[in-house]
Structure 1
Amino acid sequence: MTSTRSANRHAWWVAFLSGMVSYLDAGAIVTTGTALVLYGNEFGFGIETIAPLSSILTFSIAVGALIGGRLGDRFGRRRIFILTLSLFAVGAAILTFAPGIAWLYPGIILLGFAAGADLPVSMSMIAEAASNDNRGKMVSFTHILWMAGVIIVSLLGALFGNLGVIAGRILYGHLLVIAIIVLVLRLRLPESKAWQTTAAMMAVKPEMRGLSAFKPLLTRRYLSALVATGVFYALVNIAANINGQFSTYMYTTVAGSTVSTASTIGMIITIVSAASLLLLMRIVDGRRRMIWFAIMAILSLVAFMIPALLGVTVTTLVIFGVLYSIGGAVAGEPMYKVWSQELFPTSHRATAQGITIAFTRIVAALVGLLIPSLVAFGATSIFFLMAGTSIVAFAIGIFWIARMPKATDDDPALRDAENASADA
């Protein structure tokens, strides 16, 4: 009993330290959305520069996820997520002390690349430390940390938003401090035992290194899971990414409010979302999670249609934010994280997530470039876009992903793919 409790505490500690990348990822996205508005007033640029910089952040996250995921499967979880967090700290430092617009580009590239590379590796570390009874709960917990990042950044924005560029430096400086603290604590974490076992088995199979390591993901079993989770996440994330990166702009420029007001409202709405995640943690490992998924999908669609049909005002944005924060907590990215741990084996889990995260962020970056045109056409069109992409994502989750079997490390499909590579 004592041993079980100790293992459980260790698993939760791993979940916290590994999951803090979700805090930093959210902090990077929301901070950039707010800080670029503040830096723009100081350095003399507007939405024509904010949108490309936001897309660069998203694209950098994509590249980082693609590279980091594969490196995490090849060289270990711990080694990679210590390196990525070090790079994150460097990027945050550049943005904190940036003397002009030219410094924003390398800072944002480093920040995004490091966060993206860390995400699939850290999620895999958590899944491998958890048990079958609480894996979904622990993975879902990382999204509470994601929400915490939004809440803290919103709080800092509400407190210091009227200070101009100084507020932007405070926001990025906060990410720098948190990254350094987490990095120091991560140094004491041991490597994933599941990865060590799998790595020992793969060591005697040199034919499964390099490009051959991707072959199991191209089998019918795993390719289907890869495509389904990738498309689901890409589509459902469009709304989340737009809301995260352009919320401050919508409140200030479109609805005529202030940065401090937008940050205060955002903080309150995010607290509501964090509370909704507690519901997800209760139901995610049970049999009724897809019923809840469907209910929350409908609630999210209602949220999109409020400003789409009634216009973009502070009131409609608040109603949208509350409803979407509740619905998206269950029928959104948190569920993608859970499915990604369940549908892929240890040897390819981080690689698969890296591919789907990269695809998702590239799609988000491309969509982000269209936002200025959509705003010029009419701000309500943004919410119709969010609704349309989400409908398709929800259908994929309910009618495709939910019917897929969970993966195991002794999956016959995995062994067949490895044997085929060896024969070749």
Structure 2
Amino acid sequence: MSTPTRPRWTAFVGNMANYIDAAALISWSTVLVIYQQTRSFTPAEIGFGNGTLTGAVAIGALVGGWLADRLGRRPIFIATMALILLGTLGMIFADTLPLVLIATALAGLGIGADLPVATSTIAEAAPSSASRGRFVGLTGLFWLVGALIAGVGGGVVGNLGEVGALILLAHIGVATAFTLIARLTISESADWLAARAERRSGTRTSRAARASIRDLVRAPHRVPFLGLLGFVIFGVAPGLAILGHYGVYMLVN
């Protein structure tokens, strides 16, 4: 298996995307609560904001991996970072609910689409199967750190009004800009390039084969897929959807 010349750097940049995703999801809900105080957003409007973010993340996650398989990891990774950065800047300057929802949708699409692309980039950067486990395992750590920093930061600056919202959004913007620039220094995945060459030449390999959703419920993928599905539904989703999106709102109100 061919690998990039700087696998650790590639893994770090890919995991920075997970940091940004978690920080953005937590910070967004805090910013919406701040806007309740500074821009007179109603509870229903905050619900629209969080719902738009959740829906956009779901749509992005559905199409991100599909696009990355067809167009390459690098262009989609860059596009997702650009969407998050654009949505963050829009959130800073948006002064009406429709503009806030547009900015939220852009950021959510980038966050959702980035999840499968970043994981693929990290896994394909590993020089061996053993290091692949370590590289991918770090995604959870980066995600946790991003969520903790955003949560603690929200508690520290939440009472500063618009200034607090600006600090939270600026944190996401700076981290996203850094990751976007860093991603430009990394070439396309060697595995993806090899798979594309094999498909074009008609060579039949597992790497070049087109996978389907049905493959996930067949051996040998069935058990790990169902385990992961259960973990997301009963572990990640309640914490992220309820506490992440509405925890700050419940504490404040």
* TM-score bracket relative to the smaller structure: 0.7 to 0.9
Instruction: Name which of 6, 25, 30 aligns with 1:29.
Output: 25
- What SS does structure 1 have at the residue aligned with 2:130? coil
Please say if 1:65 is aligned against 2:48.
no
What SS does the aligned partner of 1:134 have?
helix
- 1:199 alignment partner in structure 2: 196
Q: Distance in 1 between matches of 2:74 and 2:165?
A: 31
Contact preservation (8 Å) 2:60, 2:110 = yes
Letter in 2 for 1:184: I
Cα distance between partner residues in 1 of 2:203 and 2:66? 16
Q: AA paired with 1:92?
A: T
Structure 1 position 221 matched with structure 2 position 219: yes
Residue 252 of structure 1 is matched in structure 2 by: 252
Unaligned runs of 5+ in 2: none
Task: Give CA deviations for 1:266-294 in whole Å, capped at 9, x if unaligned.
Answer: xxxxxxxxxxxxxxxxxxxxxxxxxxxxx
Which residue identity is paired with 1:182?
T
- Matching residue of 1:141: 138
Q: Which of residues 163, 171, 178 in structure 2 aligns to 1:174?
A: 171
- For the 8 Å contact 2:4–2:189, the answer to whether it is kept is no
Give the aligned partner of residue 106 of structure 1.
102
Answer whether contact 1:97 1:169 (CA < 8 A) is retained: no
Please give the residue correspondences for 1:263-278 in structure 2 after superposition, counting only pairs within 5 Å.
Answer: none
Determine the structure 1 residue equivalent to 2:185. Answer: 188
**Distance of 2:98 and 2:108 partners within structure 1:** 17
SS of equivalent residue, structure 1 residue 28: helix
One of 45, 51, 67 as aligned partner of 2:47? 51
Counterpart contact for 1:216–1:222, Cα < 8 Å? no
Amino acid at match of 2:61: A
Q: Distance in 2 between matches of 1:104 and 1:125?
A: 31
Q: Is the 8 A contact 2:26 2:147 kept in 1?
A: yes
The 5-angstrom pairing of residues 268-307 of structure 1 reads none
In the alignment, the residues of structure 2 paired with residue 158 and residue 26 of structure 1 have an alpha-carbon distance, to the nearest angstrom, of 16
Which protein, 1 or 2, shows the higher relative CO under an 8 Å CA cutoff with sep ≥ 6? 2
Cα offset, 1:106, TM superposition: 0.4
Q: CA 1:216–1:147 in structure 2 vs 1: closer, same or farther (change >3 Å)?
A: closer
- Which residue in the other structure is 1:418 paired with? none
Structure whose alpha-carbon radius of gyration is higher: 1
- For the Cα contact (< 8 Å) 1:43–1:101, is it kept in 2? no
Work out whether 1:81 is the aligned partner of 2:80: no
In structure 2, give the amino acid aligned to 1:95.
M
2:148 equivalent among 141, 146, 151: 151
TM superposition shift of 1:199: 1.7
User: Bigger CA drift: 129-138 or 114-123?
Assistant: 129-138
- Root mean square deviation of aligned Cα: 2.6
CA distance in 2, matches of 1:29, 1:166: 19
Checking the alignment, whether the CA contact within 8 Å between 2:18 and 2:118 is kept in structure 1 is no
Quick one: distance in 2 between partners of 1:135 and 1:250?
Answer: 40
Q: CA deviation at 1:165?
A: 2.4
Output the TM-score relative to the length of structure 1.
0.53
In the TM superposition, what is the alpha-carbon distance from 1:217 to its structure 2 partner?
4.2
Q: 1:86 to 1:206 in 2, by over 3 A?
A: farther
Distance change >3 Å, CA 226–CA 147, structure 1 → 2: closer
Deviations along 1:173-195, one digit per CA (max 9) or x if unpaired, are 22112111111111010121222
Q: Cα distance, 1:216 vs. partner?
A: 7.3
Indicate how the Cα distance of structure 1 residues 99 and 136 shifts in structure 2: closer, same or farther if over 3 A, else same: same
- The answer to whether 1:240 aligns with 2:239 is yes
Q: Kindly, what percent of the aligned residue pairs are identical? A: 33
1:37/1:46 contact within 8 Å kept: no
Cα–Cα, structure 1 residues 223 and 29, in superposed 2: closer, same or farther, change >3 Å? same
Distance across 2 between alignment mates of 1:159 and 1:223? 44
The secondary structure found in structure 2 opposite 1:91 is: helix
Provide the rounded CA distance (Å) in 2 between the counterparts of 1:206 and 1:83: 30
d(CA) in 2 for partners of 1:160, 1:9: 41
Q: CA deviation at 1:127?
A: 0.8
Structure 1's consecutive aligned runs of 4 or more residues displaced over 4 angstroms after TM superposition are: 225-228
Aligned length: 244
Match in the other structure for 1:315: none
Structure 1 position 36, deviation (Å): 0.7
C-alpha separation in 1, matches of 2:53 and 2:245: 10
Unaligned residue ranges in structure 1 (runs of 5+): 1-6, 254-424
The yes-or-no answer on 1:20 pairing with 2:20 is no
The Cα shift of 1:243 comes to 1.9
Q: Separation in 1 of the partners of 2:151 and 2:212?
A: 43
Whole-Å Cα distance in 2 between the matches of residues 40 and 116 of structure 1? 26
Q: Distance in 2 between matches of 1:106 and 1:11?
A: 36
Deviations 1:202-257 (A, max 9, x none): 223499xxxx944474473367355553344233222221221222223333xxxx
Cα gap change, 1:72 to 1:156, in 2 (>3 Å): same
Q: Which position in structure 2 is the counterpart of 1:381?
A: none
**1:145-198: CA deviation from partner (whole Å, max 9, x where unpaired):** 212222332343233221112211221122112111111111010121222222
